[in-house]
Amino acid sequence: MTVNIMRSTSTQLQNEKWMNVKVGDIIKLENNQFVAADLLLLSSSEPHGLCYIETAELDGETNLKVRHALSVTSELGADISRLAEFDGIVVCEAPNNKLDKFTGVLSWKGSKHSLNNEKIILRGCVLRNTSWCFGMVIFAGPDTKLMQNSGKTKFKRTSIDRLMNTLVLWIFGFLICLGIILAIGNSIWENQVGDQFRTFLFWNEGEKNSVFSGFLTFWSYIIILNTVVPISLYVSVEVIRLGHSYFINWDRKMYYSGKATPAQARTTTLNEELGQIEYVFSDKTGTLTENIMTFKKCSINGRIYGEVHDVLGQKTDMTKKKEAVGVSVNPQADRTFQFFDHHLMESIKMGDPKVHEFLRLLALCHTVMSEENSAGELIYQVQSPDEGALVTAAKNLGFIFKSRTPETITIEELGTLVTYQLLAFLDFNNFRKRMSVIVRNPEGQIKLYSKGADTILFERLHPSNEDLLTLTSDHLSEFAGEGLRTLAIAYRDLDDKYFKEWHKMLEDANAAVDERDERIAGLYEEIERDLMLLGATAVEDKLQEGVIETVTSLSLANIKIWVLTGDKQETAINIGYACNMLTDDMHDVFIIAGNTAVEVREELRKAKENLFGQNRSFSNGHVVFEKKQPLELDSVVEETVTGDYALIINGHSLAHALENDVKNDLLELACMCKTVVCCRVTPLQKAQVVELVKKHRNAVTLAIGDGANDVSMIKSAHIGVGISGQEGLQAVLASDYAFAQFRYLQRLLLVHGRWSYFRMCKFLRYFFYKNFAFTLVHFWFGFFCGFSAQTVYDQWFITLFNIVYTSLPVLAMGIFDQDVNDQNSMDCPQLYKPGQLNLLFNKHKFFICMAHGIYTSLVLFFIPYGAFYNVAGEDGQHIADYQSFAVTMATSLVIVVSVQIALDTSYWTIINHVFVWGSIATYFSILFTMHSNGLFGIFPRQFPFVGNARHSLTQKCIWLVILLTTVASVMPVVAFRFLKVDLFPTLSDQKRLSLHKVAHCVEFISSGCFLSLWVSFVSRSASGRRLKRRQDPCVGESLRPGDQAREDLDMLLLTKRAMESLSHLEKICELKIHPRHQGWKRHCIIALAGLKIYVRKPQTQ
């Protein structure tokens, strides 16, 4: 990209690439142009040196922000000659990654001017609504704050990939060991037995050395046994992953119709890792929330406005019946404004001074910028959605913010245009938790208007506000109980003389180099006192649909959610409560807000003291305990910490907490808390937090965000998820998976992630088993063929086994298999835990598969070998020839592995049936074709097994051998799995059993026999009369009046069946049933009540 720059050696603008921009260059920017470097704003096309920028690339916020030049430089305008003569010197901070802070001093024409963040335009911003502006380069290239926050792109691989690579190396070592064993055996055999065959082979004495023969045999067996090394495994894995990715793309339940946005798997290599997530790192704005604020209620001078009452005086929701306030009388009212208490408008019309002052404060105390669209409507550009909601509320209630300059604010008060002189702006930060403006009204009065957190503002009130303070505090508690975001509102009248003295001290503090921030903060504290309370506001921050349910479900799945946001602390905390990540039931919420490393370390120490009590020893601010592995730390935490805790830390404190000597304390405390909220963090800090957990906890992490400020975090995590929201596509382009709403994360992890992990693990277990069973038969055969490297199978069978006979069934299982359906996976988040614990495939499972394959290979070889030993066929001829033996073992192998995959398959589709049984049919078709006379006649050397298949497979004894081999291979597996499910069932086993019982009871009730059974019991217990002739389809017998013995027997059978159904019905009524089965559940509850009455009564008689 290029930009227009002017250097000190030239008085003309020239076009240069970004890479050639240097510190000190003067850059001209035009509307909608990206900023190429960190600039000091000198002048602009707007009055007073104002310009508007969009910072979505930096902090993810799409609202416009204002920057203004110093008055001494704004006079330069667009005069190129005067700009070329600019020779100011800037002394500023060193390059750093703090986006919201800049400190420097401009020395020019013998004067010094303080510089702050409002005078700086950072690289990555976009100039908006400003025709042009000029700026001087402060930082360029890697020194810019954007580059200081950038993270490195890393190649992502799953834990299963890393384990597979390790296992393949082990298998290769195992192959070498097998080759060495067989080579040694060949050398011994050649030395002891091979001499007897030299005469037949026409070898001279000493022509062949046994050691050399063993060496050649080693390499021959390496070639023959190479199928034990699963080279085709990697291809199959990629095919399965591709299928899983398409399932995500095609999932209609993850399609957002509001923006016609489907879910998108942007990578095919990480699907199974979605089933192993332990930590989710989430942005807030636009990710958890819709970034839409709504003004709901307010308290003014001790009275609540915003509650709607019916004719009886009861609170009610009448939003659909009543018109919003201001819509009918105010032509500039926002039609989306939802406030229905008309008592507030009545107070405004009556001229209540407190109400007017309250609304005047909302229209003046903010950082909102206004502009008019083509239709003449006011459009507000807000830095905070809270401010937008409050300014919009004031607008609808008659106090309309019109425009602002660096020196004035203009509002329209009930139709009258009023301009206030802006004397000072006391900005918001994490420590002050409030913002104030000092203005002079047209009458010459100087007033300070302030809004902020109630805990902070109440401490600065005048003592005369005690009664109003108590009443307003009660109102704030009520608002907070409804999940609303609250702010306290207050003002102060200032004396002209006092303000001039104070303002002179503020100018001196701004020009200072040393302790500048401390001096300014002290002056702010001095003037923001003796405030008069006006009331409070309550704003609703609307969460995205399904966020609460998603957070709850992920918590049940043992997934910890950390919120990393650039928003202020109060906003983050409120969202935490709204999402149920923070609750009033928590034992404690630790807030870390230290300004130095010592303070942060001390606060972390105190927090850990509260967690552990005094049963651990502390020394020099550090916890003294032995180093533990991550898994050991988890067990210690579970035994030591009881209750739920939360940790909240801001960006300034986090910068110190991430230092080497403190980060271990931070990590230990954070991992013991149920919820962690990091606020006011930079993009780089987000990535550092993710890296900290990845490195020291050895846990699988997922980062989700929607803005450019989340890119570093998304790249750092094992899995990066981008939300295509209001903040551009930067996060989506850097992500591994993308969708439109946070709630889809639940389905991505609990359904697609869990299924992918489950399928991949089952696929790997079967693949390794199949390879060992197939290959090791050659090893056993070597002991009976003189270690001659003779293959036991036909060469064509060896070629086609992995490619044709067994490739498709295992792919079908790896792509389509599932233990429970998607709805049950969502309803039971606990099913997700095996993936987090890596239980389904690990080194232990690999050795089990290896042992299973070795056992199968032993059965496949020795049962046919024993059966063929000195045995004659049905025609009296000897059948113990090599070719018949090979065909028998090959057929047994194909059938055994096919039966085994049928046992492993939990979810059958038509594709599974076709592939499994079709593979067996394909084997026999190819077998008879290759052993046919016609093919032998065409290729006699390639197909030497002529007629063998037809000869062998027509004999009953061969099929008996195949059957015995199959049963001996499969029965131990069946028995083991039956006992395991019966004695040690997993959670998924229990879920499937419950669903089976539900289906059984639904079938029983729907069959009609239950109604017959119930009527029978009702008739007998009610009147004692003989039952009329009735056919019961469940019992299958006729009930004949007059036959007492037969009737009693039938009743006994009915009672037994009813008692079994009763136990099943009780379980149904406790289950969470899919909505489409709710009707059956109601029937079961009614039936259960009847059975409890009529079934248990006869048993007591």
Query: How far apart are the C-alpha atoms of 100 and 425, rounded to whole Å?
Result: 17
Which residues lie across from 589 on neighbouring strands? 646
Please check whether residue 64 is in contact with residue 52, taking contact to mean a CB–CB distance below 8 angstroms.
Answer: yes
Please check whether residue 270 is in contact with residue 721, taking contact to mean a CB–CB distance below 8 angstroms.
Answer: no
Three-class HEC string of 610-634: HHHCCCCCEECCEECCCCCCHHHHH
Checking DSSP bridges between strand 279-282 and strand 560-564, what pairing results, if any? parallel
- What's the distance, CA 592 to chain centroid? 26
Please check whether residue 881 is in contact with residue 951, taking contact to mean a CB–CB distance below 8 angstroms.
Answer: no
The C-alpha angle 612, 617, 620, rounded to 5 degrees, equals 110
Query: How far apart are the C-alpha atoms of 769 and 775, rounded to whole Å?
Result: 10
Q: Which of these, 60, 64, 54, 57, lies nearest to 705 by C-alpha position?
A: 60
Ordered DSSP codes for 680-726: S--HHHHHHHHHHHHHHH---EEEEESSGGGHHHHHHSSEEEEE-SS
Tell me the two tokens of residue 938. Answer: 């065409």
Q: Is 904 noted as a catalytic residue in this protein? A: no
Residue with tokens 């291809």: 235
In sequence order, what E strands does 469-619 have? 485-494, 532-543, 560-564, 588-592, 618-619
Burial of 644 per CB tally in 10 Å (0-12, 13-18, 19+):
middle
Three-class HEC string of 559-581: CEEEEECCCCHHHHHHHHHHCCC
- Of the residues 25, 59, 251, 283, only one is catalytic, namely 283
Handedness of CA 141, 142, 148, 154 (dihedral sign): positive
Tell me the two tokens of residue 757. Answer: 């992990």
Q: Which strands, in side-by-side order, build the sheet including 104-108?
A: 89-92, 104-108, 111-115
Q: Which strands, in side-by-side order, build the sheet including 64-68?
A: 64-68, 50-54, 126-128
Checking DSSP bridges between strand 701-705 and strand 719-723, what pairing results, if any? parallel
Query: How far apart are the C-alpha atoms of 699 and 677, rounded to whole Å?
Result: 19
Please check whether residue 663 is in contact with residue 692, taking contact to mean a CB–CB distance below 8 angstroms.
Answer: yes
Tell me the two tokens of residue 304. Answer: 């609540």
Q: Catalytic amino acids?
A: 283
